[in-house]
Chains A and B, each alone.
Chain A
Amino acid sequence: QVQLVESGGGVVQPGGSLRLSCAASGIISGTFGSYGMNWVRQAPGKGLEWVAVISFDGSTTHYADSVTGRFTISRDNSKNTLFLQMNSLRDEDTAVYYCTKTVTRVLGYFDFWGQGTLVSVSS
């Protein structure tokens, strides 16, 4: 069973930066690098919003318009870890951030979700 564990959330002031990590376990050695990975967020009491995707080898990324130019998704397949660098944070970025695994190398639905990490942007 795949497990995804996010970390790095916390309280940050508007305009600040934060780096989230997502460690994958339960994946057969070497296969983390076979799947696309995403970040999805959920503001308090609100619905789900897709944030970004990275292809299996890191060569392709896509972002939601709301974060383009401010967030960067990356991965280290040797460490089974996904990252989200968040810069120029705004109040509206406050949310629980989930990492999700895609069933294919890039496009696809999310078969596994992490438990989420809370990011709170507040002065």
Chain B
Amino acid sequence: IQMTQSPSSLSASVGDTVTITCRAGQGIGNYVAWYQQRPGEAPKSLIFDASNLQSGVPSKFSGSRSGTDFTLTISSLQPEDFATYYCHQYNRYPYTFGQGTKLEIK
């Protein structure tokens, strides 16, 4: 199942709100997760089942679904939020990830 993630890169300022989108190639229900990866680190879980916040993750991160479109919204950007973000579908094998969105400081 192809996951088309956009944009591939995004420039924003501290305090901004940004949105990242993934479109699934077919229906996958709510089986989408979002991960954050800072440079040199392993990915970290943020959102699961499209809109549920992983334990310990601040509420500035939120997820939503509309049909086969999935969105990650990050509000009130802080310096530690500038990283690469990936969507992941786990509806069926082979699991697939979006291409990633690199969020950079403007």
Contact = CB atoms under 8 A, between A and B. Distances in A.
Among B31, B33, B93, chain A packs the most CB atoms within 10 A around the CB of: B93
Contacts of A110: 33, 35, 43, 45, 88
A64 B96 CA distance: 10
Contacts, number: 53
A48 B97 contact: yes
- Determine the main DSSP class of A at the interface with B: strand
Given A63-B94, A114-B42, A115-B42, 12 more contacts: A47-B100, A48-B88, A50-B95, A50-B96, A53-B93, A53-B95, A108-B90, A110-B43, A110-B45, A110-B88, A111-B48, A111-B54
Interface of B: 31, 33, 35, 41-45, 48-49, 54, 86, 88, 90, 93-100
